[in-house]
Structure 1
Amino acid sequence: MSNCTGRSARLIPLFLSVVLAACTVGPDYQRPEVSLGTAFEQLQDNPGWMPAKPGTPAIGQQWWQIFNDNVLNGLMATLNAQNLSIEQAQAQYDQALTSVRSANAALYPTLGLNADLVRADAPILLPGSPVVAGGSGAYTEYDASLGLSWEIDLWGGIRRGVESAQASAQASAADLAGAKLSAQAALASTYFQVRVLDVQADLLDRTVTSYERSLRMTESLQKAGLTDKGDVAVAQTQLDTARAQRLDLQWRRAQLENAIAVLLGEAPSSFELAVKVDLSVQPPQIPVGVPSALLQRRPDIAAAERRTAAANARIGVATAAWFPDLTISASGGYRSRQFTQWFNAPAQFWALGPALAMAIFDGGRRQAQIEDAQAGFRAQAASYRLTSLRALQEVEDALVQLRVLAQVQQVQASAVAAARESLRIRRNQYEKGLVDYLSVALLETTLLNNERNAIGVMGDRLSASVKLVTALGGGWSVDQMSNTSNAVSAP
Structure 2
Amino acid sequence: MSVIAAGCMVGPTYVQPSVEEPSHFKSQAVSEAGPPVPAEWWRLYGDDDLDQLIATAHASNQTLRQAVARVDEARALARVAGSFLYPTISLDPNFTHLRTSANRASTITGQRVGKGVNVNDWLIPFDLTYEIDVWGRVRRSFESARAQAAASADDMAVVALTVATDVATFYYALRSLDAQDQILTDTVASYREQVRILSVQLKTGLVSPIVLNQAQAQLQATLAQQRDVQRARADMEHALAILCGRPAPSFAVVSNPLHEASPPAVPPGLPAQLLVRRPDVAEAGENVVAANAQIGVATAEFYPRFSLTGAAGFESADVSSLFRWQSRVATIGPSISIPIFEGGRLWANLDATEARYRQAVAAYVNQVLIAYADVEDALTDLHALSDEVGFLREAVGASRNYVRLAMAQFKFGLVDYLIVIDAERTFLANQLSLAQAINLQMGASIRLIKALGGGWNSAQVHGG
Q: Same fold (TM over 0.5)?
A: yes
Residue 323 and residue 57 in structure 1: after superposition, are their counterparts in 2 closer, same or farther (change >3 A)?
A: closer
Any residues of structure 2 matched to 1:284-433 within 5 Å, and which?
284-433=264-413
Which residue, out of 9, 30, 49, partners 2:15? 30
Contact 2:385–2:441 (CA under 8 A) maintained in structure 1: yes
Task: Choose from 74, 85, 89 the match for 2:67.
Answer: 89
Partner of 1:10: none
Cross-structure match for 2:38: 60
DSSP 3-state at the match of 2:93: strand
Relative to the length of structure 2, the TM-score reads 0.96
What's 1:488 paired with?
none
User: Alpha carbons of 1:441 and 1:349: their partners in 2 closer, same or farther (altered >3 Å)?
Assistant: same
1:241 aligns with 2:221: yes
Q: For residues 343 and 115 of structure 1, what CA distance do their matches in structure 2 show?
A: 13
Instruction: Tell me, in whole angstroms, the C-alpha distance in 2 between the residues paired with 1:180 and 1:194.
Output: 21
Q: Contact (CA 8 Å) 1:398, 1:467: kept in 2 or not? A: yes
Distance 2:130 2:250 in 1: 58
Query: Is the CA contact (8 Å cut-off) linking 1:36 and 1:392 kept in structure 2?
Result: no
| CA RMSD, 1 decimal | 1.8
SS at match of 1:120: strand
Q: Deviations over 1:137-175 (max 9, x none)?
A: 232211111122211110001000010001111100100
Q: Which amino acid aligns with 1:344?
A: R
Matched position secondary structure for 1:134: coil
Find the aligned partners of 1:316 and 1:278 in 2 and give their Cα distance: 57
Q: How far apart, CA to CA, are the structure 2 residues paired with 1:107 and 1:57? A: 42
State, as a whole percentage, how many aligned pairs show the same letter. 34
Contact 2:281–2:364 under 8 Å retained in 1 = yes
Q: CA deviation at 1:323?
A: 1.0
Give 2:257's match in structure 1, choosing from 255, 259, 277: 277
**Would the aligned equivalents of 1:109 and 1:149 in 2 still touch at CA under 8 Å?**
yes
Secondary structure of the corresponding residue to residue 323 of structure 1: coil
Say if 1:330 and 1:373 are closer, same or farther in 2 by CA, change over 3 A: same
In the superposition, the TM-score normalised over structure 1's length comes to 0.91
Name the CA distance, whole Å, in 2 between partners of 1:452 and 1:333: 85
1:449 alignment counterpart: 429
- Secondary structure of the residue aligned to 2:310 is strand
What is the letter of the counterpart of residue 248 of structure 2?
P
Is the CA contact 2:5–2:136 (under 8 Å) kept in the aligned structure 1? no
Flag structure 2 segments of 5+ consecutive residues without an equivalent. none
SS in 1 for 2:400: helix
| Map of 1:172 onto structure 2 | 152
Deviations 1:250-270 (A, max 9, x none): 111010000111111111001
* CA spacing shift, 1:18–1:400, aligned 2, 3 Å: closer
Deviation at 1:210, TM superposition (A): 0.7
CA shift for structure 1 position 35: 0.8
Q: Report the count of equivalent residues.
A: 462
Structure 2 counterpart of 1:134: 113
Q: Which amino acid letter does the alignment assign opposite residue 48 of structure 2?
A: N
Quote how far apart the aligned CAs of 1:477 are.
Answer: 2.6
Could you report, residue by residue, the CA deviation over 1:276-312 in whole angstroms, capped at 9, with x for unpaired residues?
1244331111120011111111111100010011000
Cα distance, 1:242–1:116 mapped onto 2, change above 3 Å: same
Q: What secondary structure sits across from 2:373 in the alignment?
A: helix
Contact 1:409 1:457 in 2 (8 A): yes
Q: 1:260 pairs with 240, 263, 266, which one?
A: 240
* Counterpart secondary structure, 2:236: helix
* 1:277 counterpart letter in structure 2: P
The answer on whether the counterparts of 1:36 and 1:389 sit within 8 Å (CA) in structure 2 is no
Unaligned runs of 5+ in 1: 1-14, 45-49, 485-491
Alpha-carbon contact 2:141-2:294 (below 8 Å) kept: yes
Amino acid at match of 1:240: Q
For the structure 1 residues 281 and 412, does the alpha-carbon distance in structure 2 shift closer, same or farther, using more than 3 Å as the test? closer
The reply on whether 1:78 has 2:64 as its aligned counterpart is no
CA distance in 2, matches of 1:297, 1:109: 40
Summarize the alignment of residues 101-112 of structure 1 with structure 2, pairs less than 5 Å apart. 101-112=79-90
Q: Which residue of 2 aligns with 1:7?
A: none
**Conservation of the 8 A alpha-carbon contact between 1:123 and 1:132:** no
Matched, 1:459 2:445: no
C-alpha spacing 1:128/1:402, structure 2 compared with 1 (3 Å): same
Is contact 1:332–1:349 with CA below 8 Å preserved after alignment?
A: yes
Distance 1:203 1:17 in 2: 79
2: distance between equivalents of 1:421 and 1:156?
Answer: 80
**Distance of 2:118 and 2:414 partners within structure 1:** 126
Structure-2 change in CA distance of 1:232 and 1:126 (3 Å): closer
2:178 is the counterpart of 1:192: no
